[in-house]
Structure 1
Amino acid sequence: MTDVTVGPDENHATELRNKVVDKLKEDGTIVSPSVEAAMRKVPRHLAVPEASLDDAYSTYNAVVTQEDEHGNHTSSVSAPQIQAMQLEQADIRPGDDVLEIGTNGPNAAYIAELTGSTGQVTTVDIDPTPAARAQQFLDATGYTNVRVVVADGESGAPDHAPYDAIIVTAGAWDIPPAWTEQLKDGGRLVLPLRINGLTRTYGFVRQGDHLVATSAHVCGFVSVQGAGSHKQQVMQLPGDKGVTLHFDEGAPANPSLLEGVLDTPRAETWTGVTVGSREPIGTLQMYLATHVPTYCSMTIDPELSTGAIGPTGLGFSMVAVDGPNFGYIVVRRDPEKNNAEFGFHAYGPDGSGFAERLADIVRTWGKEHRNAPGPQIAVYPAATPDDRIPGDRIIDKKHSRISVSWPVA
């Protein structure tokens, strides 16, 4: 890397950069000396000159660099925490050939630090604007062993394959064949993958024709563009214009069955399962998303809603649909015990029975899986027959079949 002129701002940037790394070591995100050294060295603020130094070195916040006409974020420089998390998952070593899908500059520079002078880095983006931004940053900071390619990352970068590691920095709904095929056997694929609407950044290892997850962390990313983009199906709940349902893996085959569902009595059931105020619930969310029938999420516009649904979060609630029955998770908090209990509201001809069936799913999680390592995830090609895929649940996507297994504590 070329030396950056040292002045008051650069000295302050170095101080902030070191504070970020110190914090990420303290919270356990950074564990390897190589990732620590890379993140202490790369002057990420030069990639976002429009941002203040404090914003450029915000430990847990991304810097948005591009929006569409609707205000949706289409490109960003990810937060240092997310970048460090993915770099640790990728386990990049000196001499590795690495592909980054989705670019803005600093992360490619981190990878270049990790691969060293004997490695090669290729970074791909479908949008020429962030690609140009990345090229400008890499040129200015002297990372000459990084190739910047403008292309749809759905196809990878076959001219420079195979790779020891592939890091995807945009949220994906599926894993296209090119990403597995361009990875060496035993190579690492790190990507934010959406399963039933829930995104985790997974670390996968290639084992022959399939991928096995070795790590998973809750995260949020700008969505993939191009051939790999996937929009959720959206529908209003019949009987309430303020309630919108978002289906990631497919809406009900016959939504008309829900006509009049909110005119039925609301059943309420509590599970007896409580969580502390700081206890992570990521595994519970994923357990519900992979066990309830026709899982979706729900948003509520209070100005349009009839008020039949509630109390629940207006921005995000976990929902299940089973034919004419509709249910969603609710929480009641106990300030004295500093915890919260999960329950369900349900409507429909079997509302009380449906609420109880949903509650039993949470009870099973609490009894058998709460203290277990979390789900075991594997990804197989779309043509793989059922008898070759172990697991409790198979989720079919366009290019892949995702196996989900839940070990017992």
Structure 2
Amino acid sequence: MTTIDEPHVHDPDALRADMVRALRDQDAITSEPVAAAFAAVPRHRFAPDAPLDLAYDLHRTVPVKKDEHGLDISVMSAAHLQAVMLEQANIEPGMKVLEIGSGGYNAALIQELVGSDGVVTTVDIDRDIVDRARLCLDDSGYGQVKTVLADGETGVPDGTPYDRIIVTAAAWDIPPSWISGLTGNGRLVVPLTVRGTTRSIAFDRDGEGLVSHSYRLARFVPMQGEGAAKESKAVLRDGVAVQTDDVRVRLNAEALNHALDTPKMESWSGAAYDLPDELELYLTLQLSSAARLHASKDVVESGLVDASALLGVPALVSEDSIAYRIRRENEDTGGFESGVVAHGPQAESLADEYLNLLRRWAQDHRRRGAATIRFLPGPAPSPLPQDTVLKRHGIVAVSWH
């Protein structure tokens, strides 16, 4: 949470200056143009119903619209994440930029970056969100930003090609319009969800496809419309669920629930537990039958499932067994050691696969940026190669260094 000096709590200009300093301190802002944009745009004007301390908090989102169940379907993203993605985008004066997912504030930041000679278009599928963005942009002096009502899956063809396309909702796939809508040296920054794990990936054009320039941890509300994810979810019991978006992974809720009632097999890798976001990405993409295990606080406190599942943990599943990552303190491995809990008739074989991956990551890939992520559009090869995830419009292929 942003540290605010008490005299500043009712002064938006002072809060904005504090926010920029804090974003610099946390290395979310690393360039002068992005710092200047954040200093210039009055963030609170795009969150008129929110308290000032929430509007200028580094890591909290500002709710904009909820669905009939009370779940957020549109938010103003956390300032920290917006700064990270704008740094990934490396926007320059005079560029033409498309934002997919409107809110207004981020589009205003982009307008500051492209300057008076640049063009910014922001598109959203929801009329309420577009109208709200238009009102806030006009009210804040950014009337030159174009707002469009459309499904982001199709982009905005009238403005192509774009130097940059920035997506501000979690996307399960990359439609052809996003690639064809880029200039030859264009960049797409997108929070891409793969097997339930999302990373903000800066993709550059690479022939007919894309190759990652960088990737960062990210959390977004999901894409709506044609680009919405189609996930499989199995509720094993109250407070325990597994989910996957891999069509090759079958979730047998009854059998997996029964597995949880069998004695747990706990195994330790002797390998360091470190850089959890990098380890999570590696496991998600390397496990042969990957899902994501979620457990409520009550279930964790009962001892049935480890605390690693509170926010979701990569799991290896079979028809009737499940294995997932745990950790414990161990000074011999640098502070923490990674391990595995497995349940069910196939517990031993699942645990062995999982442990081998934990050891391989710690030995060969324990650093930031070890993955190169490619998106290759078109039909998938058969059989699908290892380290490859099937999408509707192509495949995601990952290599590790």
Q: TM-score scaled by structure 1?
A: 0.89
Q: 1-side partners of 2:90 and 2:121: how far apart?
A: 17
Give the 3-state SS of the residue equivalent to 1:222 in structure 2.
coil
Matched, 1:41 2:16: no
Report the more deviating stretch, 138-147 or 77-86: 138-147
What is the aligned partner in structure 2 of residue 382 from structure 1?
Answer: 378
Work out whether residues 297 and 319 of structure 1, in 8 Å CA contact, stay in contact via their aligned partners in 2.
yes
Distance 1:28 1:34 in 2: 14
Which one-letter code corresponds to 2:56 in the other structure? Y
Provide the residue aligned with 1:68 in structure 2: 67
Instruction: Trace 1:206-221 onto structure 2 (pairs within 5 A).
Output: 206-221=205-220
Aligned residue identity for 1:398: R
Query: Map of 1:275-354 to 2, 5 A cutoff?
Result: 275=273, 279-301=274-296, 309-315=304-310, 316-333=312-329, 339-354=335-350
After superposition, residues 18-29 of structure 1 pair within 5 angstroms as 18-29=17-28
Distance between the aligned counterparts of 2:24 and 2:313, measured in 1?
Answer: 33
Taking a change above 3 Å as real, the CA distance of residues 337 and 217 of structure 1, as seen in their structure-2 partners, is same
* CA distance in 1: counterparts of 2:300 and 2:8, whole angstroms: 51
The offset of 1:310, in angstroms, is 3.0
Matches within 5 A, 1:102-251: 102-237=101-236, 240=237, 242-250=239-247
C-alpha distance in 2, partners of 1:160/1:10? Answer: 41
Letter in 2 for 1:40: A
Structure 2 CA distance for aligned equivalents of residues 335 and 368 of structure 1? 20
Given the superposition, is the C-alpha separation of residues 158 and 370 from structure 1 closer, same or farther in structure 2, using an over 3 Å criterion?
same
> Partners in 1 of 2:239 and 2:277 — Cα distance?
27
User: Aligned equivalents of 1:374 and 1:287: distance in 2?
Assistant: 9
Q: Does 1:400 align with 2:394?
A: yes
Report the Cα offset of residue 337 of structure 1: 9.3
* Runs of 4+ with >6 A deviation: 8-11, 302-308, 335-338
On the 8 A contact 2:44/2:52 being kept in 1, the answer is yes
**What is the number of equivalent residue pairs in this alignment?**
393
Q: Any conservation in 1 of the 2:153–2:227 contact (CA below 8 Å)? A: yes
- Aligned CA distance change for structure 1 residues 301 and 26 (closer, same or farther; 3 Å): closer
- Relative distance call for 1:254 and 1:153 in structure 2 (3 A) is closer
C-alpha contact (below 8 Å) 2:58/2:80 kept by paired residues: yes
Structure 1, 339-348 or 160-169: larger mean CA deviation: 339-348
| Contact residue 296 and residue 319 of structure 1 kept, 8 A | yes
The Cα of 1:242 is off from its aligned counterpart by 4.7
* 2:295/2:309 contact within 8 Å kept: yes
Alpha-carbon shift at residue 304 of structure 1 (Å)? 7.7
Equivalent runs, 1:262-273 vs 2, <5 Å: 262=260, 264-273=262-271
CA 1:308/1:58 → structure 2, altered by over 3 Å: closer, same or farther? Answer: closer
Name the aligned partner's letter for residue 289 of structure 1. Answer: T
| Native 8 Å contact 2:234 2:251 kept in 1 | no
User: Quick one: which amino acid aligns to residue 267 of structure 1?
Assistant: M
> Where in structure 2 are there 5+ consecutive unaligned residues?
1-6
Task: Find the residue that maps to 1:355 and give its secondary structure.
Answer: helix
- In structure 2, what is the Cα distance between the partners aligned to 1:303 and 1:22? 39
**Cα gap change, 1:337 to 1:370, in 2 (>3 Å):** closer
Contact kept? 1:242, 1:305, Cα under 8 Å? no
Q: How many Å apart are 1:261 and its aligned residue?
A: 3.2
Contact 2:8 2:15 in 1 (8 A): no
Q: Would you say the 8 A contact 1:331–1:342 is kept in 2? A: yes
After superposition, the Cα gap between the structure-2 partners of 1:60 and 1:262, relative to the gap in structure 1 and judged at 3 Å, is closer
Once the two structures are TM-superposed, the CA of residue 372 in structure 1 deviates from its matched residue by 6.1
Relative distance call for 1:305 and 1:22 in structure 2 (3 A) is closer
SS at match of 1:296: strand
CA apart distance, 1:32: 1.4
Cα distance in 2 for residues equivalent to 1:303 and 1:185: 52
Are residues 246 and 117 of structure 1, via their aligned partners in 2, closer, same or farther at CA, if it must alter by over 3 Å?
same
Deviations 1:191-246 (A, max 9, x none): 10001111111101112210111011101111111110114211134xx5553111
- Give how far 1:358 is off: 1.1
Structure 1 gap ranges (5+): 1-7
CA RMSD of aligned residues (A): 2.7
Q: For residue 14 of structure 1, what is the amino acid of its counterpart?
A: D
* TM-score normalised by structure 2 residue count: 0.90
Q: Is the 8 A contact 2:239 2:295 kept in 1?
A: yes
TM-aligned CA distance change 1:47 to 1:179, over 3 Å: same
Instruction: Give the % identical residues.
Output: 37
Cα distance in 1 for partners of 2:368, 2:268 equals 23
Structure 1 residue identity aligned to 2:245: D
**Structure-2 separation of matches of 1:254 and 1:288:** 18
Question: Structure 1 residue 77: deviation in Å?
Answer: 1.0
